[in-house]
Amino acid sequence: MVPPLLVDGDIMAGMDPTLPRPWPRHLTVGKGIKFVAQDLRTNRFSSTWLVKTAKNHDDTYLAEMTSSGVWKTSHHNEGGVWRTAMTREGAVELGVERQVADEWPQPVSVDGWTEGVSVLIPKRYLGVLSKNLKANVVVVPMSDDHNGVVIRIFFEDSDAVTAGFPAAFPIAVLDRTNDGLTYVLAEPVLIEEPQLRSFEAMCHSAREHIPREQLQERNRFVGLGAMDERRLVIDLCVDPD
What are the structural domain ranges in the chain?
26-189
Q: What's the pLDDT score for residue 154?
A: 94
Q: What's the pLDDT score for residue 90?
A: 73
The rounded distance, in Å, linking the Cα atoms of 146 and 10 is 11
Q: What's the pLDDT score for residue 12?
A: 47
Mean pLDDT for the chain overall: 85
pLDDT at 143 over 50: yes
- If you average pLDDT over residues 75-81, what whole number do you get? 93
- If you average pLDDT over residues 47-61, what whole number do you get? 95
Q: What's the pLDDT score for residue 14?
A: 42
Residues 6+ apart with CB under 8 A from 209: none
Show contacts of 71-75: CB within 8 Å, 24+ apart.
Answer: 71/101, 71/222, 73/117, 73/233, 75/106, 75/116, 75/117, 75/153, 75/155
Q: What percent of the chain has pLDDT over 70?
A: 86
Among 130, 149, 132, residue whose Cα is nearest residue 141 = 149
Confidence of residue 117 (pLDDT cuts 50, 70, 90): very high
Residues 122, 228, 65, 112, CA torsion sign = negative
Q: What's the pLDDT score for residue 92?
A: 79
CB 6 within 8 A of CB 164: yes
Q: What's the pLDDT score for residue 99?
A: 81
Q: What's the pLDDT score for residue 28?
A: 96
Residue 27's H or E segment, with its range, is: strand 26-27
Between 13 and 208, the higher pLDDT residue: 208
Q: What's the pLDDT score for residue 112?
A: 93
Report the amino acid identity of residue 190: L
pLDDT at 5 over 60: no
pTM: 0.88
Confidence of residue 186 (pLDDT cuts 50, 70, 90): very high
Q: What's the pLDDT score for residue 162?
A: 83
Between 212 and 88, the higher pLDDT residue: 88
Highest mean pLDDT among 5-14, 62-71, 175-184: 175-184
Q: What's the pLDDT score for residue 11?
A: 43
